Amino acid sequence: MEKKKRYLGLALVFALATLVLSPTVLANQDVEVSVDISGAVTIVGNGDYSGAGSLDFEDITVSADADSSTSWTATTSDYITVADTTGTPGFHVLVQMNEWTYTGDATASTDLLGADDMMLRGQDGAVPDAGSNDPTKNVNVITANSCPQATPAQFSFNEAFSSATDNYAMRLSSAAEQKLIEATNPCAVKANVSFDEIELEIPQFLAAGSYQNTLTFTIVDGQF
């Protein structure tokens, strides 16, 4: 059966302000979100992921002496809802980061942010887990909208979340879409998917200027 793609077009625009390579504060980083929904396989943003929300990163001090990082931390209201009411067993969600769009005076690409400077993390930096009707889980199967055969055990995350080498985080990429989560549900299922933190690494010699990017989640009918 042909796979059907339905996109959650999270146009996450990272306004990273102007960076100066003497100690300065990197502040007011708002990530705007837009959502496009259609079809029997759907994906919807809630809370800061919704079209009315934004992902606000913590203020940090940028240092020329060491790498640093800034992050967005979720609440229980910030999650993505996925639903599969098709006749094809299972679905999967893909994620892809674009290359950063840079405005400034730097000429060497090695001085700029890379797509792999962005990471997704589970609860408190631990391996993401699944449950039923429990908003504290990274996957919350909504039993009222799912068939009895749909269980949390049928959901699996990208292998990077279980890797100590990767620090239990999924490093994003612009090279290709990566599997974020996969479900093997045999019938209708609806679930909320959340991540506790999105972290952005700031290299110590990051060039001054402004940076923008987009992050796109894609839901695909059928198993990965």
Strand partners, 210: 103
- Residues 183-204 have a mean pLDDT of 87
User: CA-CA distance, 72 to 118, in Å (whole number)?
Assistant: 11
Is pLDDT at 7 greater than 60 in this prediction? Answer: no
pLDDT at 53: 60
Report the alpha-carbon distance of residue 222 to residue 224 in Å, rounded.
7
Left (φ > 0), alpha (ψ -120 to 50) or beta: where does 90 sit? left
Whole-model pTM: value is 0.78
Is residue 156 very low, low, confident or very high in pLDDT (cuts 50, 70, 90)?
A: very high
d(CA 28, CA 48): 15
- Domain spans of the chain, in order of start: 5-221
Residue 90 has pLDDT above 80, yes or no: yes
Return d(Cα 27, Cα 39) in angstroms, integer. Answer: 38
Model confidence at 208, in pLDDT bands (50, 70, 90)?
A: low
Residue 22 confidence (pLDDT) above 50 = no
> Using 50, 70 and 90 to split pLDDT, how confident is the model at 20?
very low
For position 108, what pLDDT does the model report?
64
Query: For residue 173, is pLDDT > 80?
Result: yes
pLDDT of residue 68: 79
